[in-house]
Structure 1
């Protein structure tokens, strides 16, 4: 049995930022600070550690992995100076806790694009159920097409309804609307970025270098069965 993942479509790009207290105005203010990330070894954790390494600040900033749910409390108590967070958590700190975006991760990537969410299936499932995968990719594409076609108000309403259904609650319209402005929806999986992501992980000492040349299978991208 092979559980090797295959990325069959993109979903969401962008939407991660280093948000910090108002006293930190530029990168030169970061030495001596403590910054949070959602999880050790996760996407934002690697992004922060690699950014600090690239800026020569790897030994001058404390990185503290903390769950997204506890970061606002830590920030409000001034137990941390900021955090590298995905949306909508970054926008929550900006909108409700007087933080500001010091670094938008999009500014660090070619053409300002990096993957946040992708559609993944196991290689076994792909081999055994190609028609199901094709339908899954098509449904994903249709959802993205709808999100990119409707008004901002309709998009906000749909996202809020989905979040409330899944979690039983959500954040304010102001926070979710700000967060939606930080992301884009696209079925193209940005294949060239995955090699860079793995290289960044290895550079900061988390995991080993890996081969991701064949991680994307895009044969179903571009279908428009609803048209």
Structure 2
């Protein structure tokens, strides 16, 4: 297992180097030019709920002070963080795993400036009713090194099971995109997957699966950050007014979710359907949102634990994320009178 994981990690590090991670140019490109479009990244997952609604309803684009906006969609965190570190993205909704990885490998330039969503990640299986029953089977994650990939491999390790992307370990962990995970699961190509919502709820509803692990059960008070908003130190210095405008919308959308969860879930589904051409069935939407909660504040203890888990798996040489969270702009936005 060690050699296969080392090869996977070597390949990841080569990719990071090629795209600019590991150098201190994470605020490069046009991010230092306040007149340039603000480039926002997010994923078409309901764990990026505020981003989905803010983009599709036009709330971000219409917000005074945000200026021109370019929105870019990604499938998983590492790809978005490569873009951020290479200077082709200014701010992004992303999972904690890739954010931590980028902070530690790209000169500690990344900054978490707000929380977004807690919960909403599950391990769904066809027949396995325990960790032991996963032995000899193939399980998927959205991308090597992403938040759910780290959670899956850490959990397997805690259960005394080895994991690698090639055959030969106790459990073969195969990274693939969320749509491919669902397709492979429905075809019987994999036993299960650790995925963000709504993919878990879809696997259960469409594939007759079951939730073997609800990740909330692994964290104190069942709270852990699934999605945060990140930018770079340089962007915070040079594009602060635009980022403040973005956060104003994010705060309003988060409050809207809290005050009207059913209505907001419907708005998320409408946005999800527009972006993916397949809105969720009402039962799937309800199940997925039952495992999500809005949160403006990152969970610092959970972030620190996530960094420790990634280091223990060999993804990181250090778990020191002190300085990664900067909520100064969020606090300014929350304290300012409504515009």
TM-score over 0.5 for the alignment? yes
What pairs up with 1:124-135 in 2 under 5 angstroms?
Answer: 124-135=234-245
Give the corresponding residue for 1:158. Answer: 267
- Match status 1:12 vs 2:122: no
Partner of 2:149: 45
1:151 CA displacement: 4.7
Mark the CA change 1:151 to 1:211 in structure 2 (over 3 Å): closer, same or farther. Answer: closer
Q: Which runs of 5+ in 2 are unaligned?
A: 1-24, 28-108, 163-168
Query: Quick check: 2:273–2:280 contact (8 Å CA) kept in 1?
Result: no
Query: Structure 1 length normalisation: TM-score?
Result: 0.91
Residue 327 (structure 2) pairs with residue 218 (structure 1):
yes
Unaligned runs of 5+ in 1: none
Q: Which moved more, 1:72-81 or 1:137-146?
A: 72-81
Indicate conservation of the 8 Å contact 1:188/1:221, yes or no: no
Query: By how many angstroms is 1:128 displaced?
Result: 1.5
Deviation at 1:68, TM superposition (A): 0.8
Match of 1:144 in 2: 254
Q: How does 1:22-171 map to 2 (within 5 A)?
A: 23-58=127-162, 59-152=169-262, 154-171=263-280
In structure 2, what is the Cα distance between the partners aligned to 1:74 and 1:151? 32
Task: Measure, in 2, the Cα distance between the counterparts of 1:98 and 1:78.
Answer: 11
> In 1, Cα distance between the equivalents of 2:264 and 2:313?
37
Distance 1:218 1:183 in 2: 22
What RMSD over aligned residues (CA atoms) do the two structures have, in Å? Answer: 1.8
Task: Go from structure 1 to structure 2 and tell me whether the alpha carbon gap of 1:142 and 1:203 turns closer, same or farther (over 3 Å shift).
Answer: same
Distance (whole Å) between structure 1 residues aligned to residue 275 and residue 110 of structure 2:
25
Looking at structure 1, the residues matched to 113 and 137 of structure 2 have their Cα atoms a distance apart, in angstroms, of 40
Q: How many residues align?
A: 225
Determine which structure has greater relative contact order: mean sequence separation of CA pairs < 8 Å that are 6+ residues apart, divided by chain length: 1
- Asked whether the equivalents of residues 186 and 206 of structure 2 are also in contact (C-alpha less than 8 Å), the reply is no
Query: CA 1:151/1:83 → structure 2, altered by over 3 Å: closer, same or farther?
Result: closer
Q: Distance in 2 between matches of 1:123 and 1:156?
A: 33
The structure in which a higher percent of residues are helix is: 2
Alpha-carbon distance between aligned partners in 1 of 2:117 and 2:144, rounded to the nearest angstrom: 22
Shift, 1:80, TM fit: 1.0
Distance in 1 (CA, whole Å) between partners of 2:275 and 2:181 is 21
SS at match of 2:322: coil
Q: Does 1:195 align with 2:304?
A: yes
Which segment is superposed worse, 156-165 or 136-145?
A: 156-165
2:330 & 2:181 partners in 1: Cα distance? 37
Q: 2:282 maps to what in 1?
A: 173
Q: 2:293 aligns with which of 172, 180, 184?
A: 184
Whole-Å Cα distance in 1 between the matches of residues 140 and 196 of structure 2?
Answer: 12
* Structure 2 Cα separation of the partners of residues 2 and 9 of structure 1: 19
1:13–1:185: 8 Å Cα contact kept in structure 2? yes
Contact 2:140 2:193 in 1 (8 A): yes
- Using the alignment, how far apart are the partners of 2:177 and 2:158 within structure 1? 25
Contact 1:156–1:173 under 8 Å retained in 2 = no
